């Protein structure tokens, strides 16, 4: 992440704390943070980018971006669990 993107992210998080989550996402959309985000997260918000990067199959997808990163869809979570069974209980 570039310094500018990091600064923008931090500013949006701060605004979100002050103005609420709906405005936080509004500002994130205006700044295009989703398009620059390379993080994959579980539906509960855990960063699993390192596992996705290590995957032999890849092909992960998401229907939703959050401030934590791209939330893996159900099929991607199943594939990740199958490939890394020891990582998920």
Query: pTM, whole model, 2 decimals?
Result: 0.84
d(CA 10, CA 4) in angstroms, rounded, equals: 10
| Under 8 Å between Cβ of 77 and 54 | no
For residues 3-9, give the mean pLDDT: 86
- pLDDT score at 6: 85
Is residue 79 pLDDT above 70, yes or no? Answer: yes
Residue spans of the domains in the chain: they are: 1-36, 38-89
Instruction: Convert the pLDDT of each residue in 22-59 to its tens digit.
Output: 999 999 999 999 999 999 999 999 999 999 999 999 99
How much is the pLDDT for 35?
A: 93
pLDDT at 47: 97
pLDDT band of 1, cuts 50, 70, 90: low
**CB contact set of 70 (below 8 Å; sequence gap of 6+):** 34, 37, 39, 40, 41, 62, 64
- What is the token pair recorded at 42? 């579980």
Which residues neighbour 84 within 8 Å (Cβ) at sequence distance 6 or greater?
Answer: 51
| Range 66-74 average pLDDT | 96
Tokens 């995957």 found at: 55
């Amino acid at each position: 992440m570039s310094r500018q993107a990091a600064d923008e992210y931090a500013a949006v998080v701060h605004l979100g704390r002050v103005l609420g989550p709906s405005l936080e996402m509004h500002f994130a959309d205006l700044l295009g943070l989703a398009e620059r985000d390379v993080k994959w997260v579980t539906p509960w918000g855990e960063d699993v980018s390192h596992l996705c990067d290590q995957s032999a199959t890849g092909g992960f997808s998401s229907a939703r971006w959050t401030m934590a990163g791209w939330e893996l869809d159900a099929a991607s979570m199943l594939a990740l669990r199958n490939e890394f069974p020891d990582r998920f209980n």
